[in-house]
Structure 1
């Protein structure tokens, strides 16, 4: 299935998430938000994202020595003070999972401010962004009512960082037919994002990503072989795989799971 990507230029600190839809259907824990009234927290998922972010960016963050711009109060006894290094903020979030969603929100805010001030450059990469505009999730509140993505505290900062109210960075994202449940009949961005999501991102540059051509398909098969994800693939088997997948990247990946 084709994908569209919104492309800008320049990168530095990477803000990445590659499985957005899983937050809304395969979440590890749901709790009433301690910092955002009316929202639900995904504390374990937030903690995992913070660890991933740190593993990707710790060296660069150490070099840049970015510090937070204001105090963040977590409870009556715990606070992250203005001037604290961003790495310490992240460390607090991974150690105090209860506040991990709040730390993600603070981190995204600080990166936007630092980028706008010219202290760093930030690349935001989100796969399946249309999951944020879906009208369906598996998350339920204390009353067993369905919670929309805009009521999930972990999703709010990622929706916020895709606004055009900051500079010195780039936002690259995909929309995907399998990222939400209720809109799958078309791969066009306007349909998948719905009116709210489309207007939120506008203006952007859409790029259609087609299925593999023959050379790309063969190259990907060689990559899978090299990584030993597939073994003992004959030339006739490769051609059969090309036929049944129609050289679609996602379908090829799914089929190769069983080889």
Structure 2
């Protein structure tokens, strides 16, 4: 089954797709931000955590109900061991320092991604975050940690195959909607918008299935400089788009 807990169902807002606005962010540019200031990469990652706090605070006021952020990919293990250790430490510090506030403010936290290879103290923090916020429904924060979309899709396919093998399902039972239930992001409203900072224009193995009909906004701002104003600019661009989901307007003749 997909990684990540099922406690999402306990947050009422998490399942109310009719009023949901689901935004995903690839938080890119910490290293370049630090380099521009003649600092080590960890300095940029610490500033990036501060940017995340500001962005989460602003998101609710801007009408965002669900946010998924890319914290650490399965490919990030290729980085120097010291940097990986620092990133894990920052995540732990973020959870420990902000969990009380997030819980108090009605934020439901879910952390998705592969559990294999994660340190025991990180796993403990993940469990604590899930348990402390599982009943919250004002805002939903999903953190992709040790996550890769291709691996998630493969694991979902294996999970369905096991159900067929055991006689619990038939091959013809599999539909796009049904398959989404086997991914670690199951239970969330449709993804509306993907934002990537730092001027890069790629998904980097992030939410490949979920982003099928999402809009994309690429911003030339390094993540540590991100804040509510930057998020508002991305949302303003999103609201200017006409989303047709493969259809055309009534009376419109395609070229």
TM-score by length of 1: 0.33
Report which of the two structures shows the higher radius of gyration computed on alpha carbons: 1
Q: Which has the higher contact order (CA 8 A, sep 6+)?
A: 2
